[in-house]
Amino acid sequence: MEMKKILVADNHPLMLKYMTNLLEKRGHEVLTAQDGLSALDILNDFIPDIMFIDLIMPNIDGKKLCKIVRRMPALKHSYIVVLSAIAAEELEETANLAEIEADAYIAKGPFDKMGKHILAILNRSDQKASTGHPGEIIGLEDIHSRQITKELLSARRHSKGIMENIDEGIMEIACDARIVYVNSAAVSLSGISEEKLLASNFVNIFHEIQRQELRALLESNKPSLQVFTKDSPALLNGKELELRILPLKEEGRKSIVILKDVTEEKKRDVQIQRALKMETIGTLAGGIAHEFNNLLTGIQGNASLMLLNTVSADPDYKRLKNIEKMVQDGSTLTSQLLGYAREGKYQVRSINPNKLVENTSDTFGRTRKDIAVHKELAGDLFMVEADQGQIEQVLLNLYVNAADAMPGVGSLFLKTTNVTYKDIGTEHHRPKPGNYVKLVVTDTGNGMEEKTRKRIFDPFFTTKEIGQGTGLGLASAYGIIKAHGGYIDVESEKGKGSSFKIYLPAVKAVVRDQGTVIREEHLMGHKTILLVDDEESVREVSQELLETIGYNILTAKDGKEALEVYKKYRDTIDLVLLDMVMPNMGGSKVYDRLKEMNPGVKVLLSSGYSINGEATEIVARGCNGFIQKPFSFKDLSQEIKKILNNGQ
Amino acid sequence: MNIKELAENIGLEKEEYLELVELFVETGKSDMDKLQSAIDEKNVEKVATASHSLKGASGNLGFEEIFEVAKKINDEALEGSLKGTPESAQVLKEKLNAIASLLLPDTNIYIK
Ligand SMILES: Nc1ncnc2c1ncn2[C@@H]1O[C@H](COP(=O)(O)OP(=O)(O)OP(=O)(O)O)[C@@H](O)[C@H]1O
Ligand SMILES: [Mg+2]
């Protein structure tokens, strides 16, 4: 028999010693390794003819070692013999036979019997070319009587089952940072096969920029380190991972690494952050709009009063008209802010969204003839409960944006369909169950980059030149849709157009009366009104306005005064014009007190905020109406007249 | 039975046999240490590892009694139990010491 190169890998020194004696005595060259990892080290520059591999070893067990070795081209012709008591036990069960990639198996047992089998194998390995297929089991008949119970095997499979089924990736790392164990989650997280992972350097599987840090971390060997957290995750295979490194006290300087995929979780966090930001800015925007509306009311009122005394031939007439026009523009701006602040839900009624699309696209089509509008409207569309004016505003904002993105020529596609909440994209965390109407506005414009797309719903975000865009269009659209319990979403790619999708919750169809139309003229009255507002300018100008058209006016500067005045003149007061937001005693409380004094009291609420939860609630409690500041002369007189005429 | 016969029983020369027995007792001693601390910590897995090592080595050298006791500990541990383990460990220790004093009278590798 010619001299052979032999590698023996077994964790027991006794076995190594015996094998060395046995084989060297017969002139073979023998190298030994106490674990899988050192066996692989030896195999770097030693090509054995035969390998004897123990199944149970630390740092990469025999089964995995076989698997790795089988995939090393240099070792193609090496003959692999598995050497294990466990091998025999498991092989009796035959379940794992096919999984172990060896040429032959020798069951461990008394040395005399084992020795004979080993020498027999040595001869045989000459003739039999290495196939990589499981070979035969030798020596089973000689093994100590062994009652392997099913439970024994199942106990081991139990803990293996846990490791293989948890979501976290688990890796065991030897002191030189090489990987010696991976569970299947670790394989799928890294996207690298088990054979490749085992024995490779743990640090090197991560992104280059993080290797230095990881190396230092492993070397420091402090207990339970969690340096790569959700906020500064490790990057692997395009995923963001949280890493926890647990050094094992007992086994030299080995560590266990737990890898947790936080990619999805981080996405969710960003969504929550975003929602919070919108909320905060919304509150701020609402506050500013409120103050602003009070100012506009003053300006509007003064201008209206002056116009009453000015003939149209007067040179100031045009200027005053201009002031009124600019106040209107200012008020559009604040209403967008209020829309964003999600306080804009006012006149809610059931409407068919197709009608909104028809109305707005007609208006829009007339102004932008260069854009072809294509409509695809569902015939049996659900109704939605919405503020018509606001949703129309949203749609117009979208059209204008689309037009801006298609200078010269382009097409606008408008589509409505019925969907359920399941059809709403994943970008929205858990839409409320139910039916929705989906409105899609698609353009063939120049689209957006990812960076832009992420910010378009932020208030004041605009890519347009200063003076061209306020950046409030989409912010208010977002607020309005949200206030309607809906969702708005965008899909866009640079150069490929954009598609905005709106989802509004559907309601059962109930068509309500649209209300009586009031003639467009100043409506004179001869009644007494109590005017309650903490803003002196608002009080003054409203008083003058209302007096001009024939009302008697009493005023109060806060809630307390209002109650005193009402108590004194309750028989003469026909209506209370009540501001919502006042220091000390707000409109809501004042309303309740008035109601106590006189259940039939007529109250018109006014506020610089548009109708919000509180105002809606007061209206629901029986308050007669709501008017938003800045109110025009006409609006105010109409609203008052409407209330006074009712129930008379 | 003398040493020569014992050695021949498993197909070895006397010198080689003694060399291996010495190695067996040495590793056995460290396995017993591990076993003892594993029992104290109630660490089933460590008990299984240490008893597996003892079982394999005693089987190799034909020490049937030690093999059976080690196997008993190992089987129990694999099932998650340490019920009979302290007693069995005591038996193991005595048998290992007996082998050491019988076969290696010149050494002092005894287990306390
Ligand atoms: N259909 C679209 N195609 C390409 N980009 C768009 C589209 N719609 C919006 N955008 C981008 O989103 C930004 C924000 O839009 P938004 O309507 O909020 O403000 P704006 O149009 O810039 O100003 P405003 O509407 O107040 O006049 C725009 O400046 C533009 O960059
Ligand atoms: Mg816009």
Note the pLDDT tens digit of each residue in B60-97.
888 888 888 988 888 888 887 788 888 888 888 888 88
Within 8 A of B14 by CB-CB distance, chain A residues are: none
> Which pLDDT value is given to residue B112?
56
The verdict on a CB contact (< 8 Å) between B56 and A85 is yes
Q: Which helix (H) or strand (E) holds A644?
A: helix A633-645
Q: What length does chain B have?
A: 112
> Which residues of chain B have a CB within 8 Å of the CB of A152?
75, 78-79
The mean per-residue pLDDT over the stretch A606-612 comes to 73
User: Could you please report the per-residue DSSP string of A31-96?
Assistant: EEESSHHHHHHHHTS---SEEEEESS-SSS-HHHHHHHHHT-GGGTT-EEEEE-HHHHHHHHHTTT
Q: In this complex, do A155 and B79 lie within 8 Å of one another by their Cβ atoms?
A: yes
Look at residue A516 and tell me whether its pLDDT is greater than 50: no
Task: Say yes or no: A109 contacts chain B, CB-CB below 8 A.
Answer: yes
Contact state of B53 with A11 under an 8 Å Cβ cutoff:
yes
Expressed in angstroms and rounded, the spacing between residue A9 Cα and the centre of ligand 2 is 72
Contact at CB, A151 and B79, closer than 8 angstroms? yes
Mean pLDDT (whole number) for A68-92:
73
Task: For residue A459, give the ligand nearest its CA.
Answer: 1
- The pair of three-digit structure tokens given for residue A162, joined into one six-digit string: 């846990």
Measured from the Cβ of residue A217, the count of other Cβ atoms closer than 10 Å reads 19
With cut-offs at 50, 70 and 90, classify the pLDDT of residue A181: confident
Give the dihedral sign, CA B71/B46/B97/B102: positive
Chain B residue numbers with beta carbons less than 8 Å from the beta carbon of A149 are 75, 79
Interface test with chain A among B40, B51, B53, B60, by most A beta carbons within 10 Å: B60
Q: Using DSSP, state whether A246 is helix, strand or coil.
A: strand
How many angstroms separate the CA atoms of A587 and A529, rounded? 16
pLDDT of residue A610: 65
Does the C-beta of A452 come closer than 6 Å to ligand 1?
yes
User: How many angstroms does the Cα of residue A470 sit away from the middle of ligand 1?
Assistant: 9
Q: CA B110, CA B108: separation in Å to the nearest integer?
A: 6
What average pLDDT does range A247-276 have in this prediction? 78
User: What is the C-alpha separation between A196 and A543, in angstroms, rounded?
Assistant: 85
Q: State the distance from the centre of ligand 2 to the C-alpha of A329, rounded, in angstroms.
A: 15
Query: What is the pLDDT confidence band of residue A44, given thresholds at 50, 70 and 90?
Result: confident
Task: Say if residue A627's pLDDT is above 70.
Answer: yes
The percentage of residues in chain A with a pLDDT greater than 90, rounded to a whole number, is 23
Higher pLDDT, A593 or A75: A593
Q: Which residues of A touch B71 (CB under 8 A)?
A: 144, 146
Rounded to the nearest 5°, which phi and psi values hold at A384?
Answer: -125, 155
Supply the ipTM of this predicted assembly: 0.89
Looking at A117-131, A177-191, B82-96, which range is the least confident one?
A: A117-131
Angle between helices B44-61 and A85-93 (to 10 degrees): 100
Measuring CA to CA, which residue among A113, A130, A57 is closest to residue A87?
Answer: A57
Please report which confidence band the pLDDT of residue A387 belongs to, taking 50, 70 and 90 as the band edges. Answer: confident
Mean pLDDT of A512-532: 56
DSSP A463-530: -SPTTT--S-HHHHHHHHHHHTT-EEEEEE-TTS-EEEEEEEEEE------------SS------EEE
B10, B52, B67 ranked by CB distance to A144: nearest: B67
Atom of ligand 1 nearest to the CA of A470: 26
Please write the tens of the pLDDT for every residue from B25-48.
Answer: 888 888 898 899 888 888 888 888
Indicate if the pLDDT at residue A140 is higher than 50: no
Stronger pLDDT, A353 or B15, i.e. the higher one: A353
pLDDT in tens, A401-443: 999 999 888 999 999 999 988 888 766 667 888 889 999 999 9
> Which member of B16, B19, B56 has the closest CB to residue A108?
B56
Contact partners, residue A342, CB within 8 Å, separation at least 6: A282, A479, A480, A482, A483
Mean pLDDT, chain A, whole residue set: 81
Residues with beta carbon < 5 A to ion ligand 2? A 401, 473
CA distance B81 to A590: 76
Neighbour tally for A329: CB within 10 Å: 8
Are B20 and B36 in contact, with CB atoms under 8 Å apart? no
Residue A82, φ and ψ in degrees, nearest 5: -90, 140
Which residue in this structure is represented by tokens 């208010």? A476
Provide the token pair at A587. 């409109």
Interval A95-105: pLDDT, tens: 455 566 777 77
**Strands, sheet with A234-236, edge to edge from the N-terminal-most edge strand:** A179-182, A169-173, A255-261, A239-247, A234-236
**Which residue pairs from A552-556 have beta carbons closer than 8 angstroms and sit at least 24 positions apart in sequence?**
A552/A526, A552/A527, A552/A528, A553/A528, A553/A529, A554/A528, A554/A529, A554/A530, A555/A530, A555/A531, A556/A530, A556/A531, A556/A532
How much of chain A exceeds pLDDT 70, in percent?
A: 84
Q: What is the DSSP string of A135-201?
A: --EESGGGSPP----HHHHHHHHHHHHHHHHSSSEEEEE-TTSBEEEE-HHHHHHHT--HHHHTTSB
The minimal CB distance from B57 to the residues A12, A146, A151 is found for: A12
> CA nearest B22 in A: which residue?
A14
Q: Which of B10, B22, B51, B74 to mutate to test the interface with A (most CBs of A within 10 A)?
A: B10
Beta strand extents in A560-616 (DSSP E only): 575-579, 603-607
- Give the pLDDT band (50/70/90) at residue A520: very low
Task: State the pLDDT at residue A515.
Answer: 36
A230 phi and psi angles, rounded to 5 deg: -60, -35
Distances (CA, A) of A513 to A448, A520, A538: 42, 20, 33
Of A14, A144, A149, which is closest to B23 when you measure between CB atoms? Answer: A14
Q: State the pLDDT confidence band at A647, using cuts at 50, 70 and 90.
A: low
Res A141 pLDDT > 60: no
- The predicted model gives A11-39 an average pLDDT of 90
pLDDT of A227 above 80: no
pLDDT for residue A138 is more than 60: no
Name which of B9, B11, B60 is nearest A15 (Cβ-Cβ): B60
Across A489-494, average pLDDT: 92
Which ligand sits closest to the CA of A500? 1
Average pLDDT over residues A516-531: 59
Across the interface, whether the CB atoms of A109 and B60 are under 8 A apart is answered yes
Q: Residue A644 above 70 pLDDT? A: yes
- Asked if residue A333 has its Cβ within 6 Å of ligand 1, the reply is no
Whether A559 and A529 have beta carbons less than 8 Å apart is answered as no
Tell whether ligand 1 has an atom less than 6 A from the beta carbon of residue A236: no
pLDDT at residue A357, as a whole number: 94
Residue A379 φ then ψ, to 5°: -70, -35
Q: Is A474 in the pocket of ligand 1 (CB under 6 A)?
A: yes
CA distance A601 to A530: 11
pLDDT of residue A186: 93
Other Cβ atoms closer than 10 A to B69: 26
Q: Bridge-partner residues for A383, per DSSP?
A: A507
Asked which of A16-20, A115-119, A168-172 is least confident by mean pLDDT, the reply is A115-119
Mean pLDDT of A347-371: 85
Question: HSE of A339 in the Cβ direction (CA atoms, 13 Å)?
Answer: 26
Residue range B93-107: average pLDDT?
79
Could B60 and A108 be called an inter-chain contact, meaning their C-beta atoms sit closer than 8 Å?
yes
pLDDT over 90 at A354, yes or no:
yes
**A200 CB near a chain B CB, below 8 Å?**
no
Could you tell me if the CB of A336 is within 6 A of ligand 1?
Answer: no
What average pLDDT score do residues A51-76 get?
84
**Within an 8 Å CB–CB cutoff, is residue A26 touching chain B?**
no
Residues A27, A1: Cα–Cα separation, whole Å: 9
